[in-house]
Amino acid sequence: MTGSPGGPDHGSGGSEPGPGAAHGRRALLVVGDIVTDVVARHRGPLASGTDTAALIRTLPGGAGANVACWAAHWGCADVRLLGRVGAEAAAWHERELVAGGVRPLLVVDPEAPTGTVICLVDTGAAAERTFLTDSGASLRLEPDDWSDMLLDGVARLHLSGYLLFSASGRALVRTALASARARGVPVSLDPASAGFLGELGADRFLSLVRDVDVLLPSRDEACLLTGIADGAEAAAELSRRVPLVVAKQGADGAVVARDGAVVARVPAVPAAPRDTTGAGDAFTGAFLTALLAGAEPAKAAAEGCAAGALAVERVGGRPPTPTGVVETTRAR
């Protein structure tokens, strides 16, 4: 059950779209990370060298997978996800994606385990989180995992920025972008991680995304990429490099920028945060769904803010599913 999604060895829910799917393209294809989240919710500072009481839950996650699930939850009828997982958790992740309305196109890695992220969430007013990340199989996606057939019936391609933090992922991004350009499929990308972005470097990142149509950074990511301290000004500057920039501003909503100028400021939707994990992914999934439905970017950003508000009131990075999320819970 390893190999390319388009090849004979691909399994795990990965049947290709039929030959008629290219007519009236409507699908969203997300390419990105699928990980297992271990969410530990605690109050106040961690007690170094001893115990800190926490509620711990094991949940499906990953920025790419979360975006796909939120897009499906927000009404996109055909969402597909290409990602790489380890054999030990492939069946569980496949079930959770299917339950979330996503068609999983999973490559099962023969060597690396599924990526794991420990999310430390302070349950204070901001519900801010800190990640400890073992990317595992998720950053081992490579060009051989890509097939041009993956774009059959696809109206938009979304790439998780985590792909840019490994050599094989960068090669896959170049391959996918070239394929999308050849087919006239617009491409969006979320930078994904200010921490990893700092290691990659702003100039290198911007050179890698020069063919992207929509960039969806957080405020911190936009500031890091431009060296500008103001989030709106940073988004405007980025829009000189990418045609459309939609910068997520947390409790301040979002800004939409084109051609070096902010063209819309979208207010946040009030929420009582419990866990901010995946809020940006929720924004992106809802935003892309609205774009696919024909919304203008400012209206699509308003949909994104609404989804982000729902996300922070839930624990974990995924929306609710009709069957509920399979999880384990351990309190101390």
pLDDT at 322: 62
pLDDT above 70 for 189:
yes
* Residue 298 confidence (pLDDT): 98
10 vs 199: CA distance, rounded Å = 33
List the single range of 126-130, 145-149, 268-272, 308-312 with lowest mean pLDDT: 126-130
Q: Which residues contact residue 207 at a Cβ distance below 8 angstroms, ignoring those fewer than 6 apart?
A: none
Which pLDDT does position 129 carry in this prediction?
74
Q: Torsion over CA of 149, 102, 303 and 122, rounded to 10 degrees?
A: -120
Rounded average pLDDT over 5-13: 42
Please, what is the average pLDDT of the chain? 88
* pLDDT band (50, 70, 90) for residue 126: low
> Which comes out higher in pLDDT, residue 101 or 23?
101
What local confidence, expressed as pLDDT, does residue 242 receive?
A: 97
Pair 8, 14: CB distance under 8 Å: no
Is it the case that residue 105 has pLDDT exceeding 50?
Answer: yes
pLDDT digits (tens, 9 = 90+) for 18-74: 333 333 469 999 999 999 999 898 888 888 899 989 999 999 999 999 999 999 999
41 vs 255 pLDDT, higher one: 255
Q: How far, in Å, are 46, 130, 135, 147, 203 from residue 227 at the CA level?
A: 32, 23, 27, 37, 11
Per-residue confidence band for 275, with pLDDT thresholds at 50, 70 and 90: confident
CA atoms within 13 A on the CB side of 221: 25
If you write DSSP's letter for every residue of 158-200 in order, what string do you get? EEEGGGGGSHHHHHHHHHHHHHHHHHT--EEEE---HHHHHHH
